[in-house]
Amino acid sequence: MLRVSERLWLASIGKEHCDALWHAIDASRESLRPWLPWVDATREPGDCEVFVTAAMAERRLGTARHFVLLEDDELIGVVGFNRIVERHRWASLGYWLRSDFQGGGRMTQSVATLVEWGFDELELHRLEIRCAEGNSRSRAIPERLGFRQEGVLRECEWVGGRALSHVVYSRLAGDPAPG
- C-alpha 20/C-alpha 66 separation (Å) is 15
Closest to 12 in 3D by CA, of 64, 84, 83: 64
Whether 77 and 101 have beta carbons less than 8 Å apart is answered as yes
* CA separation, residue 72 to residues 11, 77, 90, 98, 148 (Å): 12, 13, 32, 14, 33
Residue pair 116/79 in contact (Cβ under 8 Å)? The answer is no
DSSP single-letter state for residue 43: -
Q: What is the pTM of this model?
A: 0.95
Beta bridge pairs of residue 153: 166
164: left (phi over 0), alpha (psi -120 to 50) or beta: beta
pLDDT in tens, 100-117: 999 999 999 999 999 999
Q: Which residues contact 104 (CB under 8 A, 6 or more apart)?
A: none
Confidence band for 178, pLDDT divided at 50, 70 and 90:
confident
Strands (E), the chain: 2-3, 8-12, 65-71, 74-85, 90-97, 126-132, 148-159, 162-172
Burial of 80 (0-12, 13-18, 19+ CB in 10 A): buried
Give SS3 for 103: coil
Confidence of residue 177 (pLDDT cuts 50, 70, 90): confident
Per-residue model confidence as pLDDT tens digits over 43-102:
999 999 999 999 999 999 999 999 999 999 999 999 999 999 999 999 999 999 999 999
pLDDT surpasses 90 at 179: no
* Residue-averaged pLDDT of the chain: 96
